Structure 1
Amino acid sequence: MSDEKLAVEKVSIDEEKSTSQHIDLANNVQAKIQNPLHGIPRETLVAQVQAWAKERGFEDNIDLFTRGALLAQKPGDFESVPGITEEEKEHIRRETTHRWSQPRDLYKTVIICSLAAAVQGWDQTGSNGANLSFPQALGLSTALDNPDHERNEWIIGLINAGPYIATSMLGCWLTDPLNHYFGRRGTLFWCGVFCTFSVIGQAVAQTWPQLLVCRLLLGLGMGPKATTSPVFAAENVPANIRGGLVMSWQLWTAFGILLGTAANLILQGTGAIAWRLELGSAFLPAVPLMIGVYFCPESPRWLMKKGRYGDAFKSFCRLRNSPLQAARDMYYVHCQLDEEFKVLKGSTYVSRFTELFTIPRVRRATLASFIVMIAQQMCGINIIAFYSSTIFVEAGYNQKQALLASFGFGLVNWLFAFPAVWTIDTFGRRNLLLFTFPNMAWTLLAAGFCFFIPDSNSARIPLIAFFIFLFCAFYSPGEGPVPFTYSAEVFPLTHREMGMSWAVATCLFWAAVLSLTFPRLLSAFGPVGAFGFYAGLNVVAFVLIFFLLPETKQRTLEELDYVFAVPMRKHAKYQVTEFLPYWIRRWVFFQRDAKLKPLYNFDEVESHTVWEPATGH
C-alpha cells in the first residue's frame, strides 16, 4: 500500500476517534463545553486543514490556515504553536490585554446597528408626545362626557400598538426570507426604506385609519430591523466583547428614545401640527442607516452558510486585527458548523419554524429567548416609554411639564444603559437580570403607591417622577440590554434568523398588547392598580429567569450549542441544589469560604477563548 493511502487511512481512523469524543448537541447530559478540534492529533488536524483549504480555494493560504487551526485547537498555548511570528503573538495577547482595540470595520458594523436601534427608539417615542394632541385632532376625544370615550380609548391604543401588531404578525417573520436572499446588510436597507416613508406618511395622515395604516407599514421595517441588527452585530464581533457591543442595540435604542422625547419637547410649541412633526421626525436617523449599511462588511457566518468562503475570509480579515486571527476564527466556525449541521438541518422555512419546538437544543433556546423577551414587556417599561406623558399628566403635570419629565425618563434610560457595556461580559447576562428584577418590582410599586398622596401635597408629583426614574435606572443595565443580546446569541446558525424572528415577535406582540390595553387598564384600575399589576409580573419574571435561563457570557456562538444541549431540568435542579444553598451561605451567613460547584464541565476541553470561562450560575 502506498504512503499516500496509508496517510489517508490514518486520517480516517483519527477522525473517527475524535468524532467519538464529540458531545451530543441534542442532549448534553454531562454539561460539557467542547472545542470541536479537541482530541485531534496534530498531524491529523494539519492534513484536514490542508485538504479543506484546497477544497475551498485557499491554496495560497494553506500555511496561514494551518497555523490558525493549531491556534484554535489550543488557544491558551499559542506561544508553542509552530510558525507564529512575534507580531502575531502580540495580536493574540492584546485580545486579553486590549480587548476593545478592534478594527475600524468592526466598529462600523456596531455604529450601523446603533443607528438602526436609534431609529427603533425614536419610532417608539414619537407617539408618546403625539398622544397628547392627535386624538383631539382626529376626533378621538376620551373625555368622560363623550359617549364614545371607551371606543376611542381602544382606537388610541390600537394606533399606538399598530407597529407592534404588524411586526409580531408579519414583520418579524419576513426576517428569514429577507436574510436568505439579501443578507444582513440588504435586510437593514429594506428596513430603512420602510422606516423612512411610513413615518412621513404618519405626518401627513388626515384621518385615524390613514394614521393606523402608516403605523402598520412601519412595523414591516421595525420587525426585520430589530431581528437582524443584533444578529449582525453578534456574528461580527469577538466573543469576549460580544455582549458589550451587541448590547449597543439597547444603548442606542435608549438614545433614540431620548432623541424622540427631546424632539417632542422641542416641537411641543408648534401648535396644531405638533403631533405631525413629532411622529414624522423619526425618519431622520433612517436615512444614514440606508446609506451607511453598505460600507460595512457582510456577516462572515452568513457568507459561510451560503458557501461563499472566499468572501467570508475577506470579511473576517476586515473584522479582525490580523490575518491569523481571521483564519483561526474562520476554521473554528467552519468545524463547529459541521457539527451543527449534522444535528440541525433547518432545510425549509416551515421546518426551521417547527424545529424551534421539536429539536431539544433549539427548543431550549426558544424557551429562554421567550422568557427574556416577554419579561421585557411585562416588566412595565413600555407603559412609561409609550405613555409617560399621559402618566405625568395623570399625576398632575401640565403638558409641557409632562413632556419635560418624559425627557428626563429618556435621559435616565440612556445614561444607565452604559454600565451594562462593562458588566454584561463580566457580571453576566443572567446575574444582571437577577439583580435588577426585584428592584424594578419595588420601585414600580412605590411609584404606584405615591398616587395615594393627596393632590394638595407638593411631594406627590416629584415622588412619582423619582420612583419612575429609579425604576428606569434599574431597568436600563439589566432587562434593557440583555433580551436582544441574549436572543441574538442563543440560536444555532441554521435557525438564527427564524429563532430571532420568534424572539422579537414575542417581544413586540406583547408590546402591542400593552399598547392596546394600557389606556383602558389605566382607566379601569387607576395608576395604583396598573403599576401594582406590572410590579407583580416582575416577580414572576424573576422566578422564571432563576430556573430556566442559562448564562452565555464569554462563550463563542458555536460553544453555546453545548450550553443549550444541557437539559433544562438539569439546569433548574442545579439552581435549587447548588446555587441557592451557596448564595445563602455566602450572602446571608457571609461564609467567605463557601464554594460553588460549576454546572458546566470545562475540565476535558479547552475553550476557543483565552479568558476565564463562565460558570453555570
Structure 2
Amino acid sequence: MSDSTSSGSDSTSSGSDSAAPVEGGAAVTAFDDVPLNRFHLRITALTFCANASDGYELGIISIALPLIAAQLGFGTVWEGLLGASALIGIFAGSVVVGWAADRIGRQRLYTWNFLLIAVASAAEFFVTGPAQLFVLRLLIGIGIGADYALGPTLVAEFVPRRYRGGLLASLTVLWTVGYVVAFFLGNYVVGLGDDAWRWLLASSSLPAVAVVLLRIGVPESPRWLLARGRVEQARQVVSRLGGDQAAFASLARAGRTSSETVRARYRDLFGPAHWRSTAFGVVFYNAQVVPYFAIYTFLPLVLLKMGVGEEDSTSDGLLNLFLLAGSLAGLWFVAKSTRRGLTVWSFAVLIASLAPMAIWPDAPTALLFPLFLVFTFTMSAAVNLDQVYPAELFPTDLRSSGVGLLNGLSRVGSAIGTFLLPLSLDHLGFSPTMLVLTLVLVAGLLASLAWAPETKNVALD
C-alpha cells in the first residue's frame, strides 16, 4: 500500500496509549478505537443530508424538466444545460472547497455550505426564465459538491476506524433514498398543476435549512488542528468526543510525523507518493458513475431499446426498488468484504451483466431484463464504496483536497456520459453504446487490479 495512509514510524512508545502497527503500516491510535458515541452518529447523520439532497436534486430535475420547458418555452439546448447544471456545480464545489478546507479548516465550510443550497433552492420557486434556473442550480451544485468534499472527510477523521467503512458507505445509501423518493414523489406532484414543478424544486430548501441549524456547533477536526499546530484546541475536541488523555496523546503522536515534514501541497496529489492513489481513485470513481448516470438518467430510453415499452411502468418501478435494495445490501458487503476485493468483484459482475447487451442486443427481453436487474443491484451496492475509498486514500493534509478532486472529476465524467448517451444511441445504436459502457467498466477493473490499495481498518494519520 502507498504511504498515503501511513502514520509514520513514530508509533512504538510503550504505555496504555501506545500505537500498535496494523495492516498497511499505519498506526492504531487510542483515538481511532474510542467507543462509538452520539457525536459520531450526529456527524454522520448530518452528512447524510448532502447525499440525500444530491440524489433528490438530480432525481427531481429529470421529472420536472418537461413541465418547465413547456411553461417557460425553451428547447433542447436549455434542457441539456439545466440537466447538467448541478453536475457542473458539484465539480466546482468539490474541487475548490476541498482545496480550501485543507487550508482554512473543515468546520466553517461544513456548517455554512448548506445555507447556499437552502437559499438557491427556495429561489427556484420564483424563476421566470431558463438562465435564472441555470444559475440557481449551478449554485445548488456548488453547495452539494462542497459537502461531498467535506462530509466524508470529517466522518473519516472523527469516527472510530472499526465503524468508518459502514458509516461512510451509508452516505451512498442516502443518495439512493433521495433519488428514489424524487422518482415517486415527483411523479405524483407533477400531476397537481402547471406550477407543480416550482413546489417540487423548492421543496429541497426545507431540509437544507434544518441542516444549517443542526450543524452549528460542530467542532473542527482534531487531526486537522494538530496538523496546524493548534494543540490545545485539538485536545478540547478529543475530550468533547469522549476521549481521554491517552486518546489525545496517541493521536498527537501519530500526527507528529506529518507535522515534522514539509506541509503537503495540492500538486502532491500527483507526485511520487500519491499518484497511484489519485489515479486509482479517478478511474475507479468514473468507471462507476459514467455508466450509472448515463443509463439511469435515460432509463426509459434504455429500457425501450431492450424491448420494454414506455407504458410498462412496472419495470421502471422494479428497477428503482432494485437500486434501493442493492444500496442497502452494499452496506453488508462493505462491512464483510475488503475494499480491494469488493471493488474487483463488483466490476467483474457488472461487466458480465452488461456485456451480453452489447454482444447480443436482439436477445429476448426475458434474458436482457433480468441481467439488467443484476447490473442495477450490483451497481447500487458497489457505489457505496464511492464515499469510503476516497477518504481512506490520502493523508490528513491532503484528504479534503483528494476527496474533492475525485468527487469533482467523477461529476465531469458523469456529465459527459449523460450528454453523450442519447447521441450514441441515435448515431451508433444500442449494441455499440453498451459496448463502450462495458469498456469503461473494464478500465475500472484493470485500474483496481493494478493500483487499488487495501484500506479497510487502517488507522488514518
Q: Which residue of 2 aligns with 1:139?
A: 73
Separation in 2, partners of 1:208, 1:131: 11
Deviations 1:240-289 (A, max 9, x none): 22111111221111111122212222213223234434433333332222
Answer 1 or 2: higher relative contact order, Cα 8 Å, separation at least 6: 2
How far apart are 1:546 and its partner, in Å?
0.7
For residues 389-421 of structure 1, give each alpha carbon's deviation from its aligned partner in whole angstroms, at most 9, with x where no partner exists.
4545674224xx55x655543332232222333
- TM-score, structure 2 normalization: 0.87
Instruction: Structure 2: state its 5+ residue gaps.
Output: 23-29
Q: Which residue of 1 aligns with 2:249?
A: 331
Residue 374 (structure 2) pairs with residue 470 (structure 1)? yes
State the match for 1:349 in structure 2: none
Aligned to 1:569: none
Q: Give, in angstroms, the shift of residue 447 of structure 1.
A: 5.3
CA shift, 1:465, in A, is: 5.2
Question: Which structure's CA Rg is the greater one?
Answer: 1
Alpha-carbon RMSD across the aligned residues, in angstroms, is 3.1
Is structure 2 residue 344 aligned with structure 1 residue 434? yes
* Closer/same/farther in 2, CA of residues 362 and 329 from structure 1, 3 Å limit: farther
8 A contact 2:7–2:460 mirrored in 1: no
Compared with structure 1, are the counterparts of its residues 450 and 115 closer, same or farther at alpha carbon in structure 2 (3 Å cutoff)? farther
Equivalent position SS for 1:177:
helix
- Say if 1:302 and 1:396 are closer, same or farther in 2 by CA, change over 3 A: same
Q: Quote the residue 2:26 is aligned against.
A: none
Q: Hey, what's the Cα distance between the residues in 1 that align with 2:193 and 2:370?
A: 30
| Cα displacement (A) at 1:331 | 2.4
Note if 1:487 corresponds to 2:384: no
Q: 1: CA distance between counterparts of 2:207 and 2:353?
A: 33
Matched, 1:246 2:158: no
Write out aligned runs for 1:320-469 (5 A).
Answer: 320=242, 323-324=243-244, 327-346=245-264, 352-358=265-271, 360-378=272-290, 380-392=291-303, 395-398=308-311, 402=313, 405-446=315-356, 452=362, 460=365, 466-469=370-373
Q: CA deviation at 1:157?
A: 2.5
TM-score by length of 1: 0.66
With over 3 angstroms needed to count, the CA separation of the structure-2 counterparts of 1:33 and 1:115, relative to structure 1, is closer
Unaligned runs of 5+ in 1: 1-23, 43-66, 76-91, 142-151, 347-351, 454-458, 559-617
Q: Is the 8 A contact 1:202 1:276 kept in 2?
A: yes
1:429 Cα deviation after fit: 1.2
Shift of 1:382: 1.0
- Equivalent position amino acid for 1:363 in 2: W
Q: Is the 8 A contact 1:160 1:516 kept in 2?
A: no
Corresponding residue to 1:309 among 231, 243, 249? 231
Equivalent pairs counted in the alignment come to 450
- Could you report, residue by residue, the CA deviation over 1:552-577 in whole angstroms, capped at 9, with x for unpaired residues? 1111112xxxxxxxxxxxxxxxxxxx
SS at 2:153's partner residue?
helix
Contact 2:60 2:200 survives alignment (8 Å): yes
Question: CA 1:528 to 1:246, structure 2 compared with 1: closer, same or farther past 3 Å?
Answer: same
Contact (CA 8 Å) 2:330, 2:384: kept in 1 or not? yes
CA distance in 1, matches of 2:94, 2:360: 39
Give the aligned residue type for 2:238.
F
Percentage identity across paired residues of the two chains = 21
- Give the one of 24, 32, 41 matched to 1:107: 41
Q: Distance in 2 between matches of 1:549 and 1:74?
A: 21
Q: Is the 8 A contact 2:319 2:373 kept in 1?
A: yes
Q: Aligned to 2:203, what secondary structure does the other structure show?
A: helix
Say if 1:198 and 1:214, in contact at 8 Å, map to a contact too: yes
State the Cα distance separating 1:125 from its structure 2 match: 0.9
Gap change, CA 1:295 and 1:466, over 3 Å in 2: farther
Structure 1 SS opposite 2:459: coil
Pick the aligned partner of 1:185 from 93, 104, 107: 107
